[in-house]
Amino acid sequence: MGALVYDIIIRGGTIVDGTGAPQRTADVAVKDGLIVEVGTVVGEAREEIDAAGLLVTPGFVDIHTHYDGQVSWDSLLEPSSAHGVTTVVVGNCGVGFAPVRPGQEKWLVQLMEGVEDIPGTALHEGIEWKWETFPEYLDAIDSRDYAVDVAAYVPHGAVRGYVMGERGARNEPATADDVAEMASIVAEARRAGAVGFSTSRTMGHRARDGEPVPGTFADMDELRAIADALVAAGGGIFEVAPEVLPSGGEQPTMGLMEELEWMGRLALETDLRVTYLLLQYATMPDTWREALDYSARILAEGGWLRPQVAARPFGMMIGWAGYHFFMKRPTYQALAAHLPFEELKRELAKPEVKAAILAEADLASDDRIQFDGLGPRLAMILDHIYVMGDDVDYEPTREMTVAAVAAAAGREPLEMAYDLLNGNDGNACLMFPTLNYVHGNHDVIHEMLTHPAAINGLSDGGAHVRMICDASIPTYLLTHWARDRVRGPRISVEEAVRLQTSATAEVIGLADRGVIAPGRRADINVIDFENLRIDFPTAVADLPAGGTRLLQSARGYIATIVNGRITRRHGVDTGERPGRLVRA
């Protein structure tokens, strides 16, 4: 063997380079963490990968995750790292864990627990609070090695709580001094490497104690001062989780189109990239289209205003490990209170236990506790809850609702629901699509994904761990949208890759990745496209303090490379940890 010229050569793969350009066959050579040659590579390497018949793509860049606490205890950052993701962005939706004053940690935990449904016990047990300021938080991330790169927003909720204490937590108006201090903190965070600032203005985001996220009612003076501070410190992203419907309460919020007006002005008057969350709601099924048209108009006028959209329905998985129809039944609660999950599933499969639970009435719900009354409410809408089939179908037909399946079998719907949950040895999941599925198909999602103003996002990796595993969306873009969809138009493989590589890298200003080209970072996926599969979500009790979460694995990733090192082979973690903090 001659002298080794390269670290890795990927031979004869089908290159889908992330730009949207037509695929082509070529070799890719990697050295010192960079792609150094694409074409016919002559020379030898420490390792060669035979990619004949396989896709070679850039690593996926996921701009909307909530691993803010998980980065403290977990170097792997699953589920995202199992789905070809090589860069994640945390700090979305105005919630996070920095800055934090000593003694304020519990408050931030219950804020994250309420908004993102991450078990507070896991956060309390797992987070090592080695910071107070946001730059110190970034330094704490920077001191660890990961399977993926990590970038971060500075979150409005934490900043407001840090500056205003209880006044901030209760969403009281900020004084001029408060605003000046918040602006200073955001500027400091940006100079330290934050990719931008995030805020939540939706009443749907509430802390565990029921309070809306700090900043929900922030006035325009506060938001503009923070935006100006961000600009002065280098610019970046201004992310908003907007309200959709105006509130009639004492502190009314704006509706979506009113929110977009101030965001549009901000985009036009600053050099900030303004992005917001966009979904389809049953109560206003066409507003998403108005929002996209408005964003396109602002873009045409020279501003940068783009929505983050989801590649599949937004909702929840229903199963024994999380939220389900029988949560408030006395027999279920008595069993769940003391049995480990595996033993609980065995008990729930017993005919006498099933009979007892089905015969019982629900216990009273406490509206002060998040999701406490969810079980009884779910039991009332079995005509909107779907069986997912044998191939994890996120675009099921009306015939696949629990009510329709029960009617076809001549059975009572709630009893049918119980038996369905016992499927797959008690690991079965049903799907309740609360958003993006008003018409019972993916046609609206297709329009969103293919709109030139939209950004692919909203995987929520690390969040809502007992009800979703949308961190598998990067794989879903390939399996469903580029290959398997039969109920409407698909998108090309080239576009499915572009949407989550160069497009998302550009959003957060990372010009060094997202494209297979010489000089770019060697963040690469080698994928068996024809055999790529998403597995069913599975409950795993691997969070700190024994907390349970849903994980959804994938098959067909032959290799994932981060910074020139192979982190996964055939879907299995190699133990390599080349991921680092990405400072903007």
The CATH number for 240's domain is: 3.20.20.140
What digits encode the pLDDT tens for the residues 235-244?
Answer: 999 999 999 8
Residue 580 lies in a domain: no
542: how many CB neighbours lie within 10 A of its CB?
Answer: 13
Residue 515 lies in a domain: no
pLDDT, position 174: 98
- Answer yes or no: are the C-beta atoms of 52 and 27 closer than 8 Å: no
Residue 1 lies in a domain: no
- For residue 113, give the nearest of 124, 128, 102, 129 by alpha carbon: 124
Looking at the fold, whether 308 and 321 belong to one and the same domain comes out as: no
H-helix or E-strand spanning residue 413: helix 413-421
Long-range contacts of 190-193 (CB under 8 A, 24+ apart): 190/154, 190/229, 190/230, 190/233, 190/234, 190/235, 190/236, 190/584, 191/233, 191/234, 192/134, 192/135, 192/138, 192/583, 193/135, 193/138, 193/152, 193/581, 193/582, 193/583, 193/584
* Beta-strand relationship, 55-58 and 45-50: unpaired
Looking at the fold, whether 335 and 460 belong to one and the same domain comes out as: no
Q: Average pLDDT in the 181-193 region?
A: 98
**One-letter amino acid for residue 140 of the chain:** A
Q: Which residue range is the domain that position 562 belongs to?
A: 6-58+524-573
pLDDT band at 246 (very low <50, low <70, confident <90, very high): confident
Residue 166 lies in a domain: yes
Looking at the fold, whether 423 and 457 belong to one and the same domain comes out as: no
Looking at the fold, whether 500 and 529 belong to one and the same domain comes out as: no
Residue 364 lies in a domain: yes
Q: What is the C-alpha separation between 134 and 189, in angstroms, rounded?
A: 6
Q: Which of 403, 435, 467 is the last residue of a domain?
A: 435
Q: Which of 435, 464, 491 is the last residue of a domain?
A: 435
Residue 156 lies in a domain: yes
Q: Per-residue pLDDT for 368 more than 80?
A: no
- Answer yes or no: are the C-beta atoms of 485 and 500 closer than 8 Å: no
Residue 39's φ and ψ, nearest 5 degrees, are 150, -135
Residue 213's φ and ψ, nearest 5 degrees, are -55, 135
Q: Per-residue pLDDT for 251 more than 60?
A: yes
Looking at the fold, whether 334 and 470 belong to one and the same domain comes out as: no
Q: Per-residue pLDDT for 299 more than 70?
A: yes
Looking at the fold, whether 54 and 145 belong to one and the same domain comes out as: no
Q: What is the C-alpha separation between 222 and 399, in angstroms, rounded?
A: 50
Q: Which of 402, 417, 435 is the last residue of a domain?
A: 435
Q: How many domains does the chain have?
A: 3
What digits encode the pLDDT tens for the residues 19-58?
Answer: 999 999 999 999 999 999 999 999 999 999 999 999 999 9
Long-range contacts of 135-144 (CB under 8 A, 24+ apart): 135/188, 135/189, 135/192, 135/193, 136/98, 137/97, 137/98, 137/99, 138/189, 138/192, 138/193, 138/194, 138/581, 138/583, 140/72, 141/71, 141/581, 142/580, 142/581, 142/583, 144/71, 144/75
Looking at the fold, whether 215 and 260 belong to one and the same domain comes out as: yes
Looking at the fold, whether 327 and 445 belong to one and the same domain comes out as: no
What digits encode the pLDDT tens for the residues 395-445?
Answer: 999 999 999 999 999 999 999 999 999 999 999 999 999 999 999 999 999
pLDDT, position 252: 62
Residue 395 lies in a domain: yes
Q: Average pLDDT in the 140-167 region?
A: 98
Looking at the fold, whether 487 and 421 belong to one and the same domain comes out as: no
Residue 51's φ and ψ, nearest 5 degrees, are -110, 20
For the chain, give the percent of residues with pLDDT over 70.
98
CATH code for the domain in which residue 46 is found: 2.30.40.10
Residue 419 lies in a domain: yes
User: What is the DSSP secondary-structure string of 227-259?
Assistant: HHHHHHTT--EEEEE--SS---SSSPPP-HHHH
Q: What is the C-alpha separation between 195 and 482, in angstroms, rounded?
A: 30
Looking at the fold, whether 405 and 482 belong to one and the same domain comes out as: no
Looking at the fold, whether 70 and 192 belong to one and the same domain comes out as: yes
Looking at the fold, whether 222 and 116 belong to one and the same domain comes out as: yes
pTM of the predicted structure, to 2 decimals = 0.96
Q: Average pLDDT in the 217-232 region?
A: 98
